[in-house]
Structure 1
Amino acid sequence: MTFPAPSTDLTAEQIRETVDRILSAGTLPPIVQAGHPALRQKAAPFDGQITPEQLARLIELMRQVMHEAPGVGLAAPQLGIPLQLAVLEDKYDVDHEAAALRNRAPLDFLAILNPSYTPAGPDRAAFYEGCLSLNGLQAVVSRPQAVLLDFVRPDGGAERRGFSGWQARIVQHETDHLNGILYVDRAQLRSLSSNAEYAAHWAEPGIGKAREGLGFDDGPAGISVP
C-alpha cells in the first residue's frame, strides 16, 4: 500500500531562512523526532534555494551532527529543513561476522541532492534498522539488496551509482527521508524493539532468533518503493 506524503508547504525563502537560522546558531542543531512535520513531507528539490557557500556550510554541519549522534546518514528534514539533501558515511568498526552477513563495507563520505533509487535485481535483505529521528527503537526492514541511485552532487553534476549490501540500505533509508518516509513504514512491526530489549534478547548478526521469538516474517512490509 502506498501512502504518498504531501509536498512541503515552505517557500524557497522560508527554506533559506530556516537554513540561515541553523547556520548562524553557533551550535549543533538537534535532530528532530517523529511527529515533526518535516519528516512527513516530501522535501523540496534543491534548485538553488541557498547559495553554494551556504550549501557547503550546511553539508559540513550535517556531517558534524551525523558524527556526533552517532549515525551513518542524515537527511536535511531531520534538522527540520525540507530540502532534498542527505549526507552518508559509514566508517565504523563492526564485528567481522556481522559485517560479512550484512555485506557491510566502509562507505566514504557522500553528499547527495535530489536522489532517487531503483532496485538493481530481485534480491532482498532483512535486518534490524534504526533511525536518529526515532530514538531508542529498532525494527526489521526488508529492502532491495542492491540499488541504482541517481543524484546530483553539490558541484551540480548528475551522477548514477550502484550500491549493494549495507551501503544500499543506508542510501534507501536516507532517500526515503526526503520523501516523507520513515523506516517504520516499511518495517515488520512485530519486530519493533527498544534498544535495551534488542540488546538483551535479539542482538546477533542475523534476525533468525528475533523472527522466531517475536513471530514475524522477513518479507517486504508497509509501503512501496517510491
Structure 2
Amino acid sequence: MIHPIVAIGDPVLKARAKNLPADLPAAELQQLIADMLETMYFAHGVGLAAPQIGKSVRLFVIDSTPMVELDEEDIAEGVEAEPAIKRAFLNPVMVSETGEKWGFEEGCLSIPGVRELVQRCPDIVLRYEDENRQVHEEGFSGMNARIIQHEYDHLEGVLFTDKLSSFKKQLLKGKLARIGKGDVAHDYRMKFASAGRR
C-alpha cells in the first residue's frame, strides 16, 4: 500500500523515533517494510524512514541503485561502481562516522523542490537488525553511507535542512513554511499537517 508522505512541519518529523518492539508480529513487520518500499519507489526516492509515513518507529528502507549507477563518462574513466544496497534497517544505532566530510546536494521526499549541499562523513559503522530481526554491525562508505546517514537522521528527528548554515536556513524559511502548508508542486501523495489535507 502506498502511504502519503508527511511534509515538513509535522511534529512526527522532529521527534526521536522509538524502537520497534521485539514482539511485533513478523507479518505486520514485513507488510510495513513492503509498504515503505512501494511508497519510496512510487515517489522516486532512494530512501524512506518510517516517520515520513507518520510512524515514529526506528525503521528505514533504502535502495541506492539510482545513486551508485555509473554513466558512460565514469565507465570510460575507469571509475569503479559502488555496490548498490536494497535493504531495511531496524532499530539502527550509529556506531561511528569518520573521514573528512564531503558535500553533496541532497533532497528529501518530505521537502519537495528543495535541494541543498550537505556535508557528511564518508565512512560509517551501523549496528542494526535486518527484517528477520538478526543483528548486524556493518561498515558503509560513499553514497551508501550518505543515504543511510540521511535516513538515520529522520529517526533522530533531524532533517537535512537542519544541517544547513543559519544564513541558508533563513533564506529557506519562507519556502519551507509554504511547503508545510501544502503550497508546493509534488507528484506523489503527501500529507500536510498545517493544511489538514493530502
TM-score bucket of the superposed structures, by smaller chain: 0.7 to 0.9
2:108 corresponds to 1:126: no
Indicate the RMSD between aligned Cα atoms, in angstroms.
Answer: 2.7
Is 1:115 the counterpart of 2:81 in the alignment? Answer: no
Equivalent position of 1:216 in the other structure: none
Other-structure match for 1:7: none
Structure 2: which 5+ residue stretches go unaligned? 176-198
1:104/1:167 contact within 8 Å kept: no
Q: Is the 8 A contact 2:85 2:144 kept in 1?
A: no
Q: CA deviation at 1:116?
A: 1.9
State the aligned residue count.
Answer: 167
Match of 1:190 among 150, 168, 181: 168
2:63 is paired with a residue whose SS is strand
Letter in 1 for 2:152: T
SS in 2 for 1:168: helix
Quickly say closer, same or farther: Cα 1:97–1:41, change in 2 above 3 A.
farther
Residue of structure 2 aligned with 1:48, choices 14, 22, 30: 22
Q: Which moved more, 1:66-75 or 1:110-119?
A: 110-119
Give how far 1:153 is off: 1.3
C-alpha contact (below 8 Å) 1:119/1:144 kept by paired residues = no
Which of 120, 132, 135 aligns to 1:143? It is 120
In the alignment, the residues of structure 2 paired with residue 172 and residue 97 of structure 1 have an alpha-carbon distance, to the nearest angstrom, of 28
| 1:33 pairs with 2:7 | yes
**Equivalents in 1 of 2:83, 2:73: separation in Å?**
15
Match of 2:190 in 1: none
The corresponding residue for 1:84 is 58
Determine what percentage of the aligned residue pairs are the same residue.
Answer: 35
| CA deviation string 1:6-25 (max 9, x = no partner) | xxxxxxxxxxxxxxxxxxxx
C-alpha separation between the residues in 2 aligned to 1:111 and 1:145? 21
- Could you tell me how far 1:29 is from its partner in structure 2? 1.2
> 8 Å contact 1:66–1:73 — kept in the other structure?
yes
Q: In the aligned structure 1, how far is the partner of 2:163 from the partner of 2:81? A: 21
The 4+ residue runs of structure 1 with deviation greater than 6 A are 191-194
Q: Return the offset for 1:166.
A: 0.7
Task: Supply the AA of the counterpart residue of 2:4.
Answer: P
Does the CA contact (< 8 Å) of 2:62 and 2:86 recur in 1? Answer: yes
Distance between the aligned counterparts of 1:39 and 1:68, measured in 2?
20
Alpha-carbon offset, residue 53 of structure 1 = 0.2
- Matched position secondary structure for 1:59: helix
Change (3 A) 1:134 1:158: same
Which of 118, 130, 147 pairs up with 1:170?
Answer: 147
Matches of 1:115 and 1:185, distance apart in 2: 21
Output the CA distance in 2 between the equivalents of 1:106 and 1:30: 30
Provide the rounded CA distance (Å) in 2 between the counterparts of 1:38 and 1:97. Answer: 42
For residues 179-214 of structure 1, what are the alpha-carbon distances to aligned partners after superposition, in whole Å with 9 as ceiling and x for unaligned? 1010111124539789xxxxxxxxxxxxxxxxxxxx
Contact 1:117–1:150 under 8 Å retained in 2: yes
State whether residues 40 and 180 of structure 1, in contact with CA within 8 Å, keep that contact through their aligned partners in structure 2.
Answer: yes
Displacement of 1:71: 0.7
Q: Any stretches of 5+ residues in structure 1 without a counterpart?
A: 1-26, 195-226
Specify the alignment match of 2:188 in structure 1.
Answer: none
